[in-house]
Structure 1
Amino acid sequence: MKAAYTKPFLTAALIVLLDQIIKIWVRKNMLLGDEIHFLGDRGMLRYTENPGMAFGMELGGEMGKLTLTLFRIVAVCGIGYGLVYLIKHKYHRGLIMMVALILAGAMGNIVDSVFYGVIYNYAPLFHGSVVDMFYFPLLTGHFPAWMPFWSREEFIFFRPIFNLADSAISVGVILILFNQKRYFKHEEVEESSPNSEMVED
């Protein structure tokens, strides 16, 4: 039974470790706003920090930071409990691994928001900012002049800057949504009637 817990939790731990290695490297080798291009102008590392949610979304103010951090901690506890439940009740292995990815992503960003402010001496406990770095502006241009609201404004796809933890959460959620029928398939158990075993003469 212990082996069933090893793979998902080890996977989650490795993702958290790799996420932190990347973030620490970025902090030590780049300044805020610095870019390292590896796919020309379509893929790069761009060092940013945000006090909010995945992909740079934020809750305003110091109270917003604290609320979000506490919410993350509660969410991780809930996801961890859910993962144990899924393993214990022998749910689909794919579902278990996807939940493990979501757990890893949530934990990876918790480390930043809880400890980075204190470790790097810029904010109190629970008020740290999440380090983001992956940026893929695959399509860029301007909206046409005739388009209302966004006339001639610049558009970028994909605009958000994210980290490995964000990616793990996104992959886990998307694959669960795409595989709902397979992951949550209920096997119908035939109920034996009192006369099912009777042999007719």
Structure 2
Amino acid sequence: MKNLRLLVLVALGTLAADQVSKYLAVSNLTDALDGRSGLARVAGYFSEQNLDNQPPSADGRYRATRPYRFIEDYWHFRYVENPGAAWGLFANLPDGARRTFFHVVSLAALAFIFAMYQRLDADQRLVRVALALVAGGALGNFMDRLVRGYVIDFIDWHWRNQPGMRWPTFNVADSAICVGVALMLVDSLRVRRSEPSVPPLAESPNS
């Protein structure tokens, strides 16, 4: 169980950071939790859905508010519901098929990460942290899809609103996955550089 301690701690910490950040996004970038307090706000975070509806809801309101401009022209916080994967992939699938597909893929990915983690040596700490970050990110987005059928995104990076210069809106879970993958790449490069070069074979004296 000691071998899994790092995986559990980092993955659950990442999951908690992801869900808290999404709660703050719903709280500050939509009107879904207005007028609520305490546990009612937390319950509303999990129960309120389809907050970026277009056109507006039956009462004529848009539930998502204007983006918060953290760094003007470069970094905004904007509430977005993504039913697909990155860049909206598979978003047009039928709802039932899309949910089943992502549930299966998420569970398969988590099982694969767990199996890989178990096979690592004790000194491969960087890879352990990397896999734990990927697992936490996968859990964060999986929880969204399990509860709502879509993922909450809210980090909007772009270059002065120029066409083709906007990164797809993302969240903390996506960031954790990207950092985890980057750490694994760094580790693989470090291992390659540390591998001793094979000396050339000595020539036979009779040759």
What's the TM-score, normalizing by structure 2?
0.68
Any unmatched runs of 5+ in structure 2?
31-51, 53-63, 197-207
| CA-CA distance at 1:165 after TM superposition | 0.4
Selected match of 2:115 from 59, 69, 81: 81
Could you tell me which residue of structure 1 aligns to residue 81 of structure 2? 49
CA distance in 2, matches of 1:55, 1:162: 10
Q: Is the 8 A contact 2:18 2:140 kept in 1?
A: yes
CA distance in 2, matches of 1:111, 1:162: 15
Could you tell me which residue of structure 2 aligns to residue 155 of structure 1? 164
Please state whether the residue corresponding to 2:164 is helix, strand or coil.
strand
Sort the Cα spacing of 1:91 and 1:185 in 2 relative to 1 into closer, same or farther, 3 A.
farther
Please state whether the residue corresponding to 1:155 is helix, strand or coil.
coil
Please state whether the residue corresponding to 1:114 is helix, strand or coil.
helix
Could you tell me which residue of structure 2 aligns to residue 67 of structure 1? 101
What's the TM-score, normalizing by structure 1?
0.70
Which moved further from structure 2: 99-108 or 176-185? 176-185
Any unmatched runs of 5+ in structure 1?
118-127, 142-153, 189-201
Could you tell me which residue of structure 2 aligns to residue 176 of structure 1? 184
CA distance in 2, matches of 1:13, 1:183: 28
Could you tell me which residue of structure 2 aligns to residue 5 of structure 1? 4
CA distance in 2, matches of 1:28, 1:139: 26
Q: Is the 8 A contact 1:98 1:172 kept in 2?
A: yes
Q: Is the 8 A contact 1:48 1:133 kept in 2?
A: yes
CA distance in 1, matches of 2:141, 2:84: 10
CA distance in 1, matches of 2:128, 2:191: 9
| CA-CA distance at 1:37 after TM superposition | 1.3
Could you tell me which residue of structure 2 aligns to residue 30 of structure 1? 29
CA distance in 1, matches of 2:7, 2:68: 33
CA distance in 1, matches of 2:99, 2:150: 8
| CA-CA distance at 1:69 after TM superposition | 2.0
CA distance in 2, matches of 1:91, 1:55: 36
Could you tell me which residue of structure 2 aligns to residue 134 of structure 1? 155
Sort the Cα spacing of 1:101 and 1:55 in 2 relative to 1 into closer, same or farther, 3 A.
farther
CA distance in 2, matches of 1:37, 1:165: 21
| CA-CA distance at 1:56 after TM superposition | 3.9
Sort the Cα spacing of 1:54 and 1:105 in 2 relative to 1 into closer, same or farther, 3 A.
farther
CA distance in 2, matches of 1:83, 1:187: 22
Identity over aligned pairs, percent = 29
CA distance in 2, matches of 1:78, 1:178: 20
Q: Is the 8 A contact 1:92 1:183 kept in 2?
A: no
CA distance in 1, matches of 2:177, 2:21: 17
| CA-CA distance at 1:61 after TM superposition | 2.0
| CA-CA distance at 1:91 after TM superposition | 4.8
| CA-CA distance at 1:140 after TM superposition | 4.4
CA distance in 2, matches of 1:12, 1:183: 25
| CA-CA distance at 1:42 after TM superposition | 0.8
CA distance in 2, matches of 1:48, 1:168: 19
Q: Is the 8 A contact 2:144 2:152 kept in 1?
A: yes
